Amino acid sequence: MKVLVAVKRVIDYNVKVRVKPDHSDVDLNNVKMAINPFCEIAVEEAVRLKEKGVASEIVVVSIGPKEAQEQIRTALALGADRGILIQTEEMPSSLGVAKLLKAVVDQEQPQLIILGKQAIDTDNNQTGQMLAALTDYPQGAFASAVDVESDHINVTREVDGGLQTLKLSLPAVITADLRLNEPRYASLPNIMKAKRKPLDTKTPADLGVTLTNTLKTVNVEPPAERQAGIKVASVEELVDKLKNEAKVI
Amino acid sequence: MSILVIAEHNNLELHKPTLNTVTAALALGDEVDILVAGAACGKVAEQAAQVAKVRKVLLADHAGYEHQLAENIAKLVATIGKNYTHILAPAGTQGKNTLPHVAALLDVDQLSDVIRIDSPDTFARPIYAGNAIATVQSSAAIKVMTIRATNFDAAATNGNAPIETLDDTFNTEAVTFIKEELAQSDRPELTAADVVISGGRGMANGENFEMLYTLADKLNAAVGASRAAVDAGFVPNDMQVGQTGKIVAPNLYIAVGISGAIQHLAGMKDSKVIVAINKDEEAPIFQVADYGLVADLFEVVPQLENLL
């Protein structure tokens, strides 16, 4: 079966972001970029399904600037078969991304679509659910375990009280939680091989999607700084401070 | 403005973040309705009817809604939601699972994890793991958003709203509920507790968490964990505090053996008082801690328990 995986180019998760002085956005100039960690887990799961003989082909798609090719190549080096870049300078809203992915789903007809549960830049946690709604496929969001059978998939989901297991008929959309798997590293030979794998570039217009975004960012600011605290020397002093100074116990 | 709040519940009990979400809704306007969709959930509707200043409670009681499957609930919400200017839900896993599905069915953009309401169309939300706060203006026909409960007070529960029953039923055949494995605990719920004690990699193993449980019982606290502690198998994942886990803002947060990675701070740095116990004095957690104690947690935690 064909698996479609969506990946996003985002700031590396270890980088401490800085807000631009004009408060228009965060400063991404000369900042290290990478595949969103949740998307990496989605790619890894697809590759594992292929290694088990469940998936026959893995198509990886990214939406973003020309540079997002790098993230597609990374996914190809990890084991995906071919890539599609939907090139757009202005980053669409989650709904816009879901509409573009819906158009790719219509063309490619995958049986399973895997996304990360959220991107670590916008922290929206929306796209997978929106894609499920637009395609009318069942959704398994925040998946920590998946088990594909012939015509359905069992998905264990991370929910507030613990875990929930659902059986979804295929085709289906799932979004990966951190605990789904431990992504592998790409080996040098695989990185070299990935350079020869096919990568199509398209535009939203090619897919017949007109992007609109009703969300306008008015202002971006750093969060309120916490006052630097004090170091206490002993447990007695700590309890005393909590009781008499902070009055929280 | 007419506002619909989707209740978070387990068919028996209205979850507290719903009350905080009602407060956010009342900041938008005074025509606030609560939807309770579930199975055999009449008790929850009665609890929702007691929430102060609510106009009415809509009750959709049907087998298809029992497990809060997004496919069924979202179709219901999208059907009745057309009559509202705003649709809100708490930003727990139920709300995060369902509301984007609703927004796509209504063909509108969605706002996640709203922490401040400036006006009926302008909202603030954290981005980049809480390292920046974006103020966003929405021109969407219907504003669909999840609310970060810790940023709003809980609504009072001395009201008496009428309950109206809905007949719309959606029950997809594409999804079957198999099972649920919920962690059992007598301690307060993590996101609602006044005091939270969290352990990290420094706890070394799961047995050592007993120390934190004993301490928590003395303080009527909930116990949380860092991702490192969850990944190492010390504790179940639903105890994780952080960008990808739960967001907490208690009066007192005690971080034990937690270094303080960006992703963990995203889940707890709005706590009123933060205490860090760590033997590494360079640990980033000390930069946000009001009170820091550089010491071996295995010596200090039992001492702390004795003193309380």
- Using the Cβ of A170 and the Cβ atoms of chain B, whether some distance falls under 8 Å is answered with no
Cα–Cα dist B133/B122, whole Å: 13
- Compute and round to an integer the Cα radius of gyration of chain A: 21
- Using the Cβ of B148 and the Cβ atoms of chain A, whether some distance falls under 8 Å is answered with no
> Which chain B positions have a beta carbon within 8 Å of A132's beta carbon?
70-71, 101
Residue in A167, A232, A248 nearest the CB of B178: A167
Question: With an 8 Å Cβ cutoff, are B269 and A223 in contact?
Answer: yes
Question: With an 8 Å Cβ cutoff, are B252 and A249 in contact?
Answer: yes
> Which chain B positions have a beta carbon within 8 Å of A17's beta carbon?
128, 131-132
Q: Which of B182, B185, B197, B291 to mutate to test the interface with A (most CBs of A within 10 A)?
A: B291
Cα–Cα dist B140/B144, whole Å: 9
Neighbouring residues of B107: CB distance < 8 A, sequence distance ≥ 6: A95
Residue in A118, A221, A223 nearest the CB of B130: A223
pLDDT score for B94: 97
Where b means 16+ CB within 10 Å and e means fewer, B209-237 reads bebbeebbeebebbbbbbbbbbebebbbb
Residue in B94, B287, B291 nearest the CB of A238: B291
Question: With an 8 Å Cβ cutoff, are B138 and A231 in contact?
Answer: no
Inform me whether the pLDDT recorded for A96 exceeds 90. yes
- Using the Cβ of B179 and the Cβ atoms of chain A, whether some distance falls under 8 Å is answered with yes
Nearest-CA residue of chain A relative to B301?
A235
Question: With an 8 Å Cβ cutoff, are B287 and A228 in contact?
Answer: yes
Residue A140 · residue A128 · CB < 8 Å: no
Interval A86-110 mean pLDDT: 97
Question: With an 8 Å Cβ cutoff, are A218 and B135 in contact?
Answer: yes
CA nearest to B246, candidates B259, B264, B221: B264
pLDDT score for B186: 87
Neighbouring residues of B211: CB distance < 8 A, sequence distance ≥ 6: B298, B301, B302, B305
> Which chain B positions have a beta carbon within 8 Å of A95's beta carbon?
103-104, 107-110
pLDDT score for A249: 84
Question: With an 8 Å Cβ cutoff, are A138 and B175 in contact?
Answer: yes
Question: With an 8 Å Cβ cutoff, are B292 and A232 in contact?
Answer: yes
> Which chain B positions have a beta carbon within 8 Å of A142's beta carbon?
93, 96-97
Three-state DSSP at A111 gives coil
Residue B148 · residue B112 · CB < 8 Å: no
**At what angle are helices B70-81 and A127-135 packed, to 10 degrees?**
80
Q: End-to-end distance of chain A based on CA atoms, in angstroms?
A: 58
Runs of H (alpha helix) within A79-229: 94-108, 127-135, 188-194
Own/partner contacts of A136-139, CB < 8 Å, gap of 24 or more, are A137/A113, A137/A171, A137/A172, A137/A173, A137/B174, A138/A166, A138/A168, A138/A169, A138/A172, A138/A173, A138/B71, A138/B172, A138/B174, A138/B175, A139/A168, A139/A172, A139/A173, A139/A174, A139/A175, A139/B70, A139/B71, A139/B97, A139/B101
Using a pLDDT cut of 70, give the percent of chain A over it: 100
DSSP A135-161: HT--EEEEEEEEEE-SSEEEEEEEETT
Mean pLDDT of chain A: 96
pLDDT score for A184: 97
pLDDT score for A104: 98
Question: With an 8 Å Cβ cutoff, are A158 and B113 in contact?
Answer: no
Using a pLDDT cut of 90, give the percent of chain A over it: 94
Give the gap in angstroms from C-alpha A208 to the nearest C-alpha of chain B.
Answer: 17
Cis-peptide into A223, omega within 30 deg: no
**At what angle are helices A127-135 and A94-108 packed, to 10 degrees?**
50
Q: What is the pLDDT tens value at each position of chain B, 308 positions in all?
A: 999 999 999 999 999 999 999 999 999 999 999 999 999 999 999 999 999 999 999 999 999 999 999 999 999 999 999 999 999 999 999 999 999 999 999 999 999 999 999 999 999 999 999 999 999 999 999 999 999 999 999 999 999 999 999 999 999 999 999 999 998 888 998 998 999 999 999 999 999 999 999 999 999 999 999 999 999 999 999 999 999 899 999 999 999 999 999 999 999 999 999 999 999 999 999 999 999 999 999 999 999 999 98
Residue in B101, B175, B176 nearest the CB of A129: B101
Which pLDDT tens digit goes with each residue over A134-184? 999 999 999 999 999 989 999 999 999 899 999 999 999 999 999 999 999
Residue in B105, B132, B290 nearest the CB of A19: B132
Give the gap in angstroms from C-alpha A127 to the nearest C-alpha of chain B.
Answer: 7
Neighbouring residues of B119: CB distance < 8 A, sequence distance ≥ 6: none
pLDDT score for A226: 85
Q: How many CB atoms lie within 10 A of CB B110?
A: 29
Three-state DSSP at B65 gives helix
Which one-letter amino acid corresponds to residue A199? L
- Using the Cβ of B90 and the Cβ atoms of chain A, whether some distance falls under 8 Å is answered with no
* B39: its two tokens: 């199975």
Interval A94-119 mean pLDDT: 98
- Using the Cβ of A160 and the Cβ atoms of chain B, whether some distance falls under 8 Å is answered with yes
> Which chain B positions have a beta carbon within 8 Å of A238's beta carbon?
275, 291, 293, 304
Question: With an 8 Å Cβ cutoff, are B71 and A139 in contact?
Answer: yes
| Chain A stretch 203-222, residues whose beta carbon is closer than 8 A to a beta carbon of chain B | 213-222
Inform me whether the pLDDT recorded for A228 exceeds 80. no
Which one-letter amino acid corresponds to residue B185? S
Which pLDDT tens digit goes with each residue over A19-67? 999 999 999 999 999 999 999 999 999 999 999 999 999 999 999 999 9
- Using the Cβ of A22 and the Cβ atoms of chain B, whether some distance falls under 8 Å is answered with no
The ipTM, to two decimals, is 0.96
- Using the Cβ of A125 and the Cβ atoms of chain B, whether some distance falls under 8 Å is answered with yes
pLDDT score for B281: 96
Strand positions, DSSP E, A36-137: 57-64, 82-87, 112-116
Q: Which of A126, A167, A243 to mutate to test the interface with B (most CBs of B within 10 A)?
A: A126
- Rounded to whole angstroms, the maximal C-alpha distance in chain A is 68
Residue in B132, B182, B274 nearest the CB of A221: B132
Question: With an 8 Å Cβ cutoff, are B104 and A98 in contact?
Answer: yes
- Using the Cβ of A11 and the Cβ atoms of chain B, whether some distance falls under 8 Å is answered with yes
Give the gap in angstroms from C-alpha A150 to the nearest C-alpha of chain B.
Answer: 14
* Spacing of C-alpha B214 from chain mean position: 25
- Using the Cβ of A24 and the Cβ atoms of chain B, whether some distance falls under 8 Å is answered with no
